[in-house]
Structure 1
């Protein structure tokens, strides 16, 4: 790659884009049609930010050479993850992993816990781990998947992660382990590449622009991304991540617990039971303890000491309350003792009173626990989660899918990632559009969740280049909203004659055309002959997937619900044409086609001007070409088994 040429084109693209967009905002907005003019200029602003982030990504690509020799004595576990893939496919990948030349041990991580797969693994000398319950008998958090379990059951210094449809080459470890000679390297990622994909790639399975120039560009900023498979991870870095994540999660739990306690106290004060002096005294004690804890938390007090002291103060408050309840019993016992009456069975005497107070002070036995407002306060002040296993492991503390969150957090710890640009794993090509859409939807939703929960721009432990590189990946998932506007604008003009700009004059073309031409030239130079058209088609054509992922992620994050784990399908989803999966796009295609006819008729009768009609006809035709890929994809019968097998074997 000619780095100087790329940088020149990046600068020209950004300057021309800013020049065009400034003119659009300041001089060309058709405010009489603000309902389409403003959305369009916002979409164009989004696109310029996307272009600028792409330019920054490719500004200083890292083109790595050989990794060198593996670290002396390095031990490796190869982990093949599966959920519902066919057994023969899983076994094929596992046996290929077993045949890797570098000494290692191969494990199958079965998220589906299938006994028949366990038997197959045992018959071939493969390790087998099924996700289930932890050692306490509690269910593991969904985000942990099988990797956290594998960390406790394996011992290798490094972990090679493979999905069940990703078949490794025998030399993969020999070619990649050398990068770990740098102790700060925690991750080495290799490309995702699929065998058996036709040259026209109807499902958009391959993404050579991302698994090439984009990843190399991110690597130049020390921000190469983990893709969930085809990667080697350093165990020690994962355990460090687990400890850090556990502490962060505990701090969030403590803050949430104190917030819940304040709200519960407010509700309890308004309840009729609060008129009881005993209840009111208990609430005063708990409120004073939690306010002290909140002050100490802001001052940076150690969490362990803070929570321990809070629990002791709350328990002491419960004991004082129970002691007050027992005061009358003490008086009665004193009277009985003075009368020197023979004791009855079961009578509590003074020397037994202290033990009785201890027992009744327990939160589950205290009479106050039966008073609803107090019970809620006692529950709120508890920062633990007794119904869930909480191992100090990395992925259990990550609230979304592992790949993006894990990368961001590793970089936040000062660890480094490496992108090794060599095809060392050959995947099984997706067989239908349903599988492709499910995978893309899952990954987009997870990425947006990271943006909303852990915006990399706000992570002080990341370098500014790393922040922008992680943000660029997340920003691309918002493109579905801009795509809707790009489809709507030509329809609006051709059918209604409404322009979102004041006029399509020479000033417009002088600003817009150079920007588009230079940007396209930049992509061509960066791609170095790599086909990019299919990737760019799908980026626009899958607008319902991106919008759905954004809205679902937002609802999950803002509602405070745990995101759970969406398992990516491993088998074909549709037996025939999948028109139902692209219904919104088919509707848009119909509207565009109808708009072309209406626009021609309006031009014929003089209702539309020639220049505006020509521009919007070309725009609508381009949109139709973009969306047409989904017609082919919905009818795609699947890859040729013979070609896929040959590609997998011979690469």
Structure 2
């Protein structure tokens, strides 16, 4: 074990002890219950921050520095995918030419989701393959980038594929330095950093993520939880196709189980209403109930799904024919309900696995005639959408449950027992947002996608993941809830300085003796794990973008639980049309927060001057305000940013003194 890792573990332990000591003491002895309306939110925010710190420390506990990968097998087949929708053609071609020049033998593909004839012409003129969606996608859900990639997966054959965004220009040795990891037959994904060449050293938009594309991913890698980030990653096709097939079978199986449960309830209801002299009918219903038990038992033992459902349907059909002559008179009252259910089976846009549970409950508790019950059972099982008629492809290897396909896909692969690796070396140069509006669009989409995954497939309850993997995925999702804590951290000093309401019982020596060491050691942990990488900008934006984080949470909640639309926006690769003016409207909540903080500080100073407030408490909160204003100052820089103007030292190699496409 290296000295650095030993130092990190010592600081992690110290941070955990000091943090727990402070927060437990706050809950037990320090909350000012008289002012509970501000005291409780503050201690909850502090508890949130402690959990965030503990999850970060857990990741750093096994920080993994891999070094160089082994030499790859020279005979692997590789596809390079360049995903594009509406980006400028020359920008895409710059990436495509670089991809074609990758040294390891491969096939280069432009995945043109915009189906542009001029894009096709430009690609094919330089010997680069072009592909767009097949006709099967017409009128079907498109699933944005995930759908584009899923379409390409079923039209290509390479054992491995490298995914690149349209602006991510690969280095010639990107495959030479990553394919060797796949000597491990259980390796599914190798992720490399996303680095942006059009970012000045000051990085006013916080585009570079040196902490995430470094220690955080390395820490997750130590727990086999480094995850796919959408671009600059090499993926094993076998792993992804296994995932697609297993998800497909799993979803169909869920539908079958739901159908069998509802069918059992229908039959039991019909059986209770039988007259004593209907022994023949009772026997027929009992036979079908036995068939349901047998089908569920066979599924539980892992027998092929299609064999089980086919055999069950055949046996139910035989019993149905036996009952036809015995129950024609009672059948009329059931026809409407059966027709409605068969309409579900015939509707290509509806699968039984997605039918509302209330509908199935209503069917199960309706008064059925015996033959009507049998007809219903057959319709229920037939309604399982084995062909997934509501989708362009039955098999969707990349996850389509959120506006970002990457995290959910990788989490599912880990749950199947596959491994991932993070190679900490820049092997592609991309383009970052050139203005505030574009940056906010990008960050909101990332956050929305992550929160959607948390709501739909919370890693804490996913089978197949280790405990550490669950926590590593959850740590990323948890971090996007910081917007609510930020509101409290902004409001607390304002309330104290303006109204004198203290959320703690006293600003005592005991309070500072617990708080200050925790804050100092926590910052020391960041410094040590960063190893010289700049982290301040990332810390600023984690607080300064609190409106974005809150919006991501509320909109994702509305989408997942309330069925509201969540519009997908491709991150523009050039400046917005309004990039020439300062967009203060985009950061109005932050400007209001800064104004309120500044006014509160002045009010607090005046209150001290007239003897209405204690000096010490006011000084402490004014320092807090100054820190918040220093954090929010990045918003001023971002709003005034006019795009990348490279200095001679920042001109990309080979650019002959000219900025690349999309630069200002």
What TM-score range do you get, normalising by the shorter chain? 0.7 to 0.9
Contact in 1 for aligned 2:83/2:112 (Cα 8 Å): yes
Q: Report what 2:198 is aligned to.
A: 196
Give yes or no for the alignment of 1:109 onto 2:114: no
- Contact kept? 1:399, 1:563, Cα under 8 Å: no
Contact 2:432 2:573 in 1 (8 A): no
Take 2:479 and 2:246, find their aligned partners in 1: how far apart are those partners? 29
1:623 maps to what in 2?
A: 628
CA contact (8 A) 2:227 2:410 kept: yes
Q: Which residue is 1:118 aligned to?
A: 120
Check conservation: 1:557, 1:563, Cα contact below 8 A: no
Structure 1 match to 2:384: 383
Instruction: Pick one of 504, 508, 530 that aligns with 1:505.
Output: 508
Tell me how far apart the structure 1 counterparts of residues 191 and 42 of structure 2 sit (CA, whole Å).
Answer: 38
Is the 8 Å Cα contact of residues 98 and 169 (structure 2) preserved in structure 1?
Answer: yes
Distance 2:93 2:393 in 1: 32
Correspondence 1:68-217 to 2 at 5 A: 68-134=70-136, 139=140, 141-142=142-143, 144-217=146-219
CA distance in 2 between partners of 1:39 and 1:286 (Å): 60
- Distance across 1 between alignment mates of 2:179 and 2:547: 40
Once the two structures are superposed, what CA deviation does each residue of 1:511-548 show, in whole Å capped at 9, x if it has no partner? Answer: 11111111111111111111100000000111111111
Specify which of 584, 587, 592 is matched with residue 589 of structure 2: 584
| 1:525-540 mapped onto 2 (5 Å cutoff) | 525-540=528-543
Counterpart CA distance in 1 for 2:229 and 2:552 is 18
The separation in 2 between residues aligned to 1:530 and 1:493, in whole angstroms, is 36
Does the 8 Å contact 2:80/2:99 carry over to 1? Answer: yes
**2:409 is equivalent to residue 406 of structure 1:** yes
Equivalent residue of 1:175, what SS?
A: coil
| 1:42-61 matched pairs, under 5 angstroms | 42-61=44-63
Aligned partner of 1:253 in structure 2 is 255
**Alpha-carbon displacement from aligned partner over 1:575-619 (angstroms, at most 9, x marks no partner):** 222222211111111211221122122222222211111111111
**How far does residue 445 in structure 1 lie from its aligned partner after superposition?**
1.3
Q: Residue 261 and residue 555 in structure 1: after superposition, are their counterparts in 2 closer, same or farther (change >3 A)? A: farther
Give per-residue Cα distances to partners, 1:282-312, cap 9 Å, x unaligned: xx99996997589658956743345335545
Shift of 1:392: 2.2
**Secondary structure of the residue that 1:14 maps to in structure 2?**
helix
Q: Which residue of 2 aligns with 1:349?
A: none
Query: CA shift at 1:179, angstroms?
Result: 1.2
CA deviation profile, 1:364-402 (whole Å, cap 9, x unmatched):
799xxxxx9999998765121433334224125656632
Q: 1:594 to 1:528 in 2, by over 3 A?
A: same
Contact residue 3 and residue 59 of structure 1 kept, 8 A: yes
> How far apart are the structure 2 equivalents of 1:621 and 1:605?
22
Question: Is the 2:450–2:477 contact (alpha carbons within 8 Å) kept by the matching residues of 1?
Answer: yes
Instruction: Measure how far apart 1:201 and its partner are.
Output: 0.6
The CA RMSD measured in Å over matched residues stands at 3.5
Note the C-alpha offset of 1:209: 0.7
- The aligned runs of 1:309-388 (5 Å cut-off) are 309=311, 311-312=313-314, 382-384=383-385, 385-388=388-391
SS in 2 for 1:430: coil
Aligned with 2:523 (options 520, 523, 535): 520
**Residues 289, 313 of structure 1: 8 Å contact kept:** no
Of residues 427-436 and 571-580 in structure 1, the stretch that sits farther from structure 2 once superposed is 571-580
Following the alignment from structure 1 to structure 2, what is the Cα–Cα distance between the partners of residues 205 and 648? 20
What SS does structure 2 have at the residue aligned with 1:414? coil
Secondary structure in structure 1 of the residue aligned to 2:430: strand
* Aligned residue number for residue 356 of structure 2: none
What is aligned with 1:428?
Answer: 431
Of residues 529-538 and 62-71 in structure 1, the stretch that sits farther from structure 2 once superposed is 62-71
8 Å CA contact retained: 2:402, 2:450: no
In the superposition, the TM-score normalised over structure 1's length comes to: 0.84
1:552-591 alignment to 2 at 5 Å? 552-559=555-562, 566-573=569-576, 574-575=578-579, 576-591=581-596
Contact 1:14–1:52, Cα closer than 8 Å, also in 2 = yes
List alignment gaps of at least 5 residues for structure 2: 271-280, 331-338, 346-362, 367-371
Q: Equivalent residue of 1:556, what SS?
A: helix
Partners of 1:71 and 1:169 lie apart in 2 by 19
Pairwise mapping of residues 201-240 of structure 1 onto structure 2 (< 5 A)? 201-240=203-242
| Residue 435 (structure 2) pairs with residue 438 (structure 1) | no
How far does residue 259 in structure 1 lie from its aligned partner after superposition?
7.3
| In structure 1, C-alpha distance between the alignment counterparts of 2:268 and 2:644, rounded to whole Å | 63
Identify if the C-alpha distance between structure 1 residues 205 and 235 changes in structure 2 by more than 3 Å, giving closer, same or farther: same
Give the whole-Å Cα distance in 2 for the aligned partners of 1:164 and 1:505: 56
Q: Which of residues 597, 607, 613 is equivalent to 1:608?
A: 613
> Once the 2 structures are TM-superposed, how far is the Cα of residue 639 of structure 1 from its aligned partner?
1.1
- Structure possessing the higher relative contact order (Cα contacts under 8 Å, 6 or more residues apart): 1
* Structure 1 position 412, deviation (Å): 1.1
User: Given that residues 170 and 428 in structure 2 are in contact (C-alpha distance below 8 angstroms), is that contact kept between their aligned partners in structure 1?
Assistant: yes
Structure number with greater Rg is 1
Q: Is the 8 A contact 1:253 1:383 kept in 2?
A: yes
Aligned to 1:459: 462
> In structure 2, how many angstroms separate the alpha carbons of the residues matched to 1:592 and 1:95?
51
Secondary structure class of the residue paired with 1:628:
helix
Q: Could you say what secondary structure the match of 1:146 adopts?
A: helix
Does the 8 Å CA contact 1:148/1:396 hold for their aligned counterparts?
no
Alignment length (residue pairs): 603
Report how far residue 140 of structure 1 moved: 5.3
| Residue pair 1:438, 1:568 contacting (<8 A) in 2 also | yes
Mean Cα deviation higher: 410-419 or 598-607: 598-607
Q: Is the 8 A contact 1:132 1:139 kept in 2?
A: no
Q: Counterparts of 1:196 and 1:522 in 2: how far apart (Å)? A: 30
CA distance in structure 2 between the partners assigned to 1:170 and 1:32 by the alignment? 65
